[in-house]
Structure 1
Amino acid sequence: MPESPAQDREKAPRPVPGLPARAFTMDAARRRELAAAFKAGGAHYDAVRPSYPDAALDFMVPATARDVVDVGAGTGIFTALLVGRGLEVTAVEPSQDMLGVLTGRLPEVDAVPGTGEDTGLGESSTDVITYAQAWHWVDPKAASAEAARVLRTGGQLALVWNQFDVSMPWVHRLARIMHAGDVHRPDFIPPLGPEFQGLESGAWTWEQSLSPEQVIELAKSRSYYLRAGAATRARVEHNLSWYLYDHLGHKPGVPFGLPYLTHAWRARLRSQ
Structure 2
Amino acid sequence: MDDPLHPPIPPISARDEPRFGSAERKRTLAGAFAGQGADYDRLRPGYPDAVLDAMLAPLAGSAPTLRAIDLGAGTGKLSSALAERGLEVTAVDTSAAMLEVARARGRTIAAGSLSTHLARAEETGLPGSSAELVTVAQAWHWFDAEEASAEVARLLASEGVLALVWNMLDVTIPWVHRLSRIMHAGDIHREDFAPTVGPELELTDRRAITWEDPMPTQDVIDLARTRSYVITAPEERRQKVLANLDWYLHDHLGHARGARVGVPYRTDLFLYRVAAR
Using structure 1 for the length normalisation, give the TM-score. 0.91
Tell me which of 245, 267, 271 is aligned to 1:266. Answer: 271
Residue 105 of structure 2 is matched in structure 1 by 105
Residue 147 of structure 2 is matched in structure 1 by 142
For the residues of structure 2 that align with 1:11 and 1:244, how far apart are their CA atoms? Answer: 21
Tell me which of 34, 41, 45 is aligned to 1:46. Answer: 41
Structure 1 residue 17 displacement after superposition? 5.5
Aligned partner of 2:240: which letter? R
Residue 3 of structure 1 is matched in structure 2 by none
Tell me which of 26, 35, 55 is aligned to 1:31. Answer: 26
Residue 219 of structure 2 is matched in structure 1 by 214
Work out whether residues 153 and 271 of structure 1, in 8 Å CA contact, stay in contact via their aligned partners in 2. no
| Structure 2 gap ranges (5+) | 1-5, 108-112
For the residues of structure 2 that align with 1:124 and 1:30, how far apart are their CA atoms? Answer: 34
Q: What per-residue deviation string (whole Å, max 9, x for no partner) do you get for residues 202-226 of structure 1?
A: 0111101011101011111111111
For the residues of structure 2 that align with 1:17 and 1:228, how far apart are their CA atoms? Answer: 24
Change (3 A) 1:258 1:11: farther
Structure 1 residue 198 displacement after superposition? 3.3
Tell me which of 19, 22, 35 is aligned to 2:19. Answer: 22
Alignment: residue pair count: 262
Does 2:201 align with 1:196?
A: yes
Q: What per-residue deviation string (whole Å, max 9, x for no partner) do you get for residues 74-128 of structure 1?
A: 0011111101110111110111110111111213412000121111111111111
Work out whether residues 16 and 190 of structure 2, in 8 Å CA contact, stay in contact via their aligned partners in 1. no
Residue 12 of structure 1 is matched in structure 2 by 8
For the residues of structure 2 that align with 1:271 and 1:165, how far apart are their CA atoms? Answer: 35
Change (3 A) 1:18 1:98: farther
Change (3 A) 1:64 1:70: farther
Structure 1 residue 238 displacement after superposition? 1.0
Aligned partner of 2:8: which letter? A
Aligned partner of 1:156: which letter? V
For the residues of structure 1 that align with 2:61 and 2:126, how far apart are their CA atoms? Answer: 21
For the residues of structure 2 that align with 1:271 and 1:154, how far apart are their CA atoms? Answer: 10
Q: Secondary structure at the match of 2:30?
A: helix
Change (3 A) 1:109 1:227: same
For the residues of structure 2 that align with 1:243 and 1:16, how far apart are their CA atoms? Answer: 21
Using structure 2 for the length normalisation, give the TM-score. 0.90
Divergent runs of 4+, >4 A: none
| Structure 1 gap ranges (5+) | 1-9
RCO comparison, higher one (Cα < 8 Å, 6+): 1
For the residues of structure 1 that align with 2:159 and 2:274, how far apart are their CA atoms? Answer: 6
Q: Cα RMSD between the aligned structures?
A: 1.8
Identity of aligned residues (%): 47
Change (3 A) 1:192 1:199: farther
Structure 1 residue 57 displacement after superposition? 1.0
